[in-house]
Amino acid sequence: MSFFDDLAARIEAADSVVSVGLDPDTDRLPDEVQDADLPRWAFNRRIIDATHEHAAVFKPNAAFYEDADGWRALRETVAYAHGKDVPVLLDAKRADIGNTARQYAEILDYVDAVTVNPYLGEDALQPFLSREDAGVFVLCRTSNPGGMDFQHLELAAYDRRLYEHVAERAADWNDQYGNVGLVVGATAPDELEAIRERVPELPFLVPGVGAQGGDAETAVEYGLNDDGVGLVNSTRGIIFAGEHSPEWAAAAGDAARTLRERLNQYR
């Protein structure tokens, strides 16, 4: 089965399109995990226990694991999430050329999907795309304000904006490989709608609901494809919902459940 087949099955089983971001900022971890051998893993394990029944996917961001203990923590996290029957999408935004791209793509031996940057073009993404059992989410219209610096540029030769061109190229890649989705932020609802109109078949990963204030209804209406497959991510709004509380894990579980119920109103 492909990643998106597995994801569709997980969405149905959990009745959820919630992506729970696992970004264990070491400056914000609760005291009770600080003395663990791997504090980030100890934190993630508690978060996974509290949220897995509400999660369609777990989404660790590679930036929070890029040291020796961090990679160990990530491997433990991925294995534990898989033990709960939840797929793992690594938010790494990778792309490069030649041997470097092939090395980056080896992460797909361990995780189920990855985010990639399309700026270097198809050959830089081919090592990811060729892993047809894995999911490849291409950055398209990101949720940060600076995304407009380049993503909104008009392409005169194509009569469209750059992010629209990225979406259509991603659709072409999906026609060839069958494993491509897009990253489209919930903080840009007009663009989210416009992209959906161009590529109705692609699943979206929609960040920005939660701490960034994106609109949940729009995220669901345009983030899911015609088959109801897609993901709406929240990270800080879930994992740090109980920050400074002794019941921080339970608070994360409550936040994940609340987001699932909120999104399900519009599915």
In the residue annotation, 93 being an active-site residue is answered as: yes
184 forms beta bridges with 141
CA pair distance 216, 263, nearest whole angstrom: 6
Q: What is the CA radius of gyration of the chain?
A: 18
Q: Which one of 28, 75, 93, 160 is the catalytic residue?
A: 93
183 forms beta bridges with 139, 205
- Nearest Cα neighbor of 243 from 23, 93, 55 is 23
The strand order across the sheet containing 231-234 reads 57-60, 18-22, 231-234, 204-206, 180-184, 135-141, 113-116, 89-94
The DSSP bridge pattern shows strands 204-206 and 231-234 to be parallel
Helix axes 216-223, 248-264, angle to 10 degrees: 60
- Read off the tokens for 2: 């492909």
Catalytic residues: 93
